[in-house]
Amino acid sequence: MTQSNTKLQVMWNRLLAVVEEQGQALIRAAFSPIVRECGDISAGIFDFQGRMLAQAVTGTPGHINTMAEAVITLRARFPVQDMKPGDIYMTNDPWIASGHLNDFLLLMPVFFKNRVIGFTSCTSHLVDLGGLGMGPEGSDIYDEGLLIPPCKLGSKGEVNALLMDIVKANSREPVANEGDIYALIACCEAGASSLSQMMQEFAINDLNALSDYIIETSRNATIKAIAALPKGTWHSTLTVDGYDAEIELRAALTIATDHLLIDFAGTARCTNKGINVPLNYATAYTVFALRCIIGPEIPNNAGSLAPFRVTAPKGCILNAQPPVPVAMRHTLGQMTPDLVYGCLSQALPNIVPAEGASCMYDLPLRHVPEAADLGHQKFATELVFSGGTGARPTLDGLSATAFPSGVWGSQVETTEAAAPILIHSRELRRDSGGAGQYRGGLGQHIEVSSAIEEDIMLFLSVERVGNPAKGRHGGLDGATGRIRMGHDGTDLPSKGEFRIKAGKTLIFETPGGGGFGAPQNRHPNALQNDVEADLVSAQAADKLYRKQP
């Protein structure tokens, strides 16, 4: 390595520290628990052309990888020559930002020696933005809340007060929304300040050499990793629960010499419910899944993302077009990793894990419509729980772990302090992980009720209630999810709007991951440990794992 490259490598390491400081600023300043406690964010540094150089470790692929494209879009929308220090741009347009209205994306130009040298950007989830809210019942985007086109949030350091008033006036949680927007501003400012300080210390006037080094090195490494793969085209189909009928997702994976192409042709058309997925969001999770297998050690930036291409017919459910409803786009968007792994497992059979719960199991909750008239407490919150991941070729799946989203689970104490919610139980679901030589990760059993003598509205949109996570190479399927009111209550469908009656308990069980390899090949010590830890029952051990005479 030359001296020049050594210096560039040192600057790259420093840039990682800058973006991590940026992300932590957002988390520490946020009001909403889903941001502060669950890390539902992204933060990154971009060069003068709008290419992503580095991202904070904390964040979801749905935010990070959509942000990488959104910055380029906003960079083209607003002329750089018109930008001033302290300017900040914002949008929550689902087809530009992160796929639904609740995610706000900010962009801030970074000035050094009186000229723009790059940008900071970040995204986070606002808990409520009017309309029907975080549920699948909207008939179009206008039902779902307030859409803000690309605009100026701040001008020369002054926040657009009218815009802030509009956001607050269209929310059931105006204080939290205002606080979260200021947290996003603080995130951009922290990144800009640290980046300028870094440039001063390294005595550089622009990021050109550093950005070219980062992007070209990452792109070349990714192309090298792709070149080592078998060449060809493989197909996969994934059946998901859908809203009121099952939906087929289809993918074709083509591995070429210098790129990968995923095509969703054949996937079902959009529905009239808010589970449709803009292509930017479907692409974000698709590429993330592939990058977890192909060159996972290569940093995530514009260079390493470039060789992965995703296409889909307009109007299919993974390429939803305005103005269809998309509020719960994560429900199917987060299923795309299992879809593309169905292709990749044919090319790389001993590397790809079994299917997992995949779809984030979240619980958007808020006051009932008549609360204001009756003088009852008003609130809106969103709890996040996870199922189990699929077993890996040489390791068990992870229990109660969010893959692919990476969102941390809601904490009991924080939840009960922030909203009138009581969590009675939260524990691992015994026998929910698919049996296999390597066992699937376990889901969770959670019991929730109103902490006061008032009903609560629940907005459900989850998957794997009708179609379990499938095992791979002889591994068995994981347990399906299940939602019901009380131990003797009727099961609820996976999607819809429901009322939790005061005094009633919602029982929420998340799915388990599929197993990998034949269960009879599981090491006896591993099975014994599972039984002793109450992860697998003695009955399941005898029925599913013992070799039959």
Please give the model's pTM, rounded to 2 decimal places: 0.95
Q: Are 283 and 263 in contact (CB under 8 A)?
A: no
Q: How far apart are alpha carbons 538 and 174 in whole angstroms?
A: 51
CA dihedral 390, 293, 352, 43 (to 10 degrees): 20
3-state secondary structure of 42: strand
Looking at the domain assignment, is residue 135 inside a domain? yes
Last residue of a domain, one of 192, 219, 246: 219
Looking at the domain assignment, is residue 340 inside a domain? no
pLDDT tens figures, 294-340 = 999 999 999 999 999 999 999 999 999 999 999 999 999 999 999 99
Q: How far apart are alpha carbons 345 and 354 in whole angstroms?
A: 9
Is the pLDDT confidence value at 70 over 70? yes
Q: Are 368 and 355 in contact (CB under 8 A)?
A: no
- Token digits of residue 540: 């399941």
Give burial (CB, 10 Å; 0-12/13-18/19+) of 232.
exposed
- Token digits of residue 478: 């994981």
Q: How far apart are alpha carbons 284 and 55 in whole angstroms?
A: 14
Looking at the domain assignment, is residue 150 inside a domain? yes
pLDDT tens figures, 196-230 = 999 999 999 999 999 999 999 999 999 999 999 99
Residue % of the chain over a pLDDT of 70 = 98
Give the model's pLDDT for residue 374: 67
Give the model's pLDDT for residue 549: 43
pLDDT tens figures, 402-415 = 999 999 999 999 88
Is the pLDDT confidence value at 357 over 90? yes
Last residue of a domain, one of 219, 239, 261: 219
Give the model's pLDDT for residue 133: 84
Give burial (CB, 10 Å; 0-12/13-18/19+) of 221.
middle
Give the model's pLDDT for residue 547: 64
Mean pLDDT in residue range 509-515: 98
Range of the domain at 49: 3-219
Number of independent structural domains in the chain? 2
Cis amide prior to 150 (ω within 30 degrees): no
Apex CA 481: angle with CA 139 and CA 494, to 5°? Answer: 15
In DSSP terms, 119 is beta-bridged to 46, 109
Last residue of a domain, one of 219, 252, 284: 219
Looking at the domain assignment, is residue 341 inside a domain? no
Q: Could you identify the residue written with the tokens 């409520």?
A: 128
- Token digits of residue 292: 């977890």
- Token digits of residue 142: 């206008």
Q: Are 166 and 147 in contact (CB under 8 A)?
A: no
Q: How many residues are listed for the chain in this entry?
A: 549
- Token digits of residue 249: 């997702």
Tell me 443's DSSP state.
Answer: -
Residue % of the chain over a pLDDT of 90 = 89
Tell me 81's DSSP state.
Answer: G
Is the pLDDT confidence value at 381 over 70? yes
Both 210 and 357 in one domain: the answer is no
251 Cβ contact partners less than 8 Å away, ≥ 6 residues apart: 235, 236, 237, 238, 262, 263, 264, 267, 336, 339, 340, 342, 343
3-state secondary structure 143-198: HHCCCCCCEEEEECCEECHHHHHHHHHCCCCHHHHHHHHHHHHHHHHHHHHHHHHH
Looking at the domain assignment, is residue 281 inside a domain? no
Give the model's pLDDT for residue 1: 42
Is the pLDDT confidence value at 378 over 90? no
Looking at the domain assignment, is residue 332 inside a domain? no
Mean pLDDT in residue range 154-182: 95
What is the distance of C-alpha 472 from the center of its chain?
24
Looking at the domain assignment, is residue 224 inside a domain? no
pLDDT tens figures, 257-282 = 999 999 999 999 999 999 999 999 99
What is the distance of C-alpha 397 from the center of its chain?
19
Give the model's pLDDT for residue 82: 96
Looking at the domain assignment, is residue 116 inside a domain? yes
Give the strands of the sheet with 247-255, arranged side by side.
Answer: 232-240, 247-255, 260-263, 308-311
Give the strands of the sheet with 456-461, arranged side by side.
Answer: 380-385, 361-367, 456-461, 495-500
3-state secondary structure 225-266: HHHCCCCEEEEEEEEECCCCCCEEEEEEEEECCCCEEEECCC
Give the model's pLDDT for residue 538: 96
Is the pLDDT confidence value at 444 over 50? yes
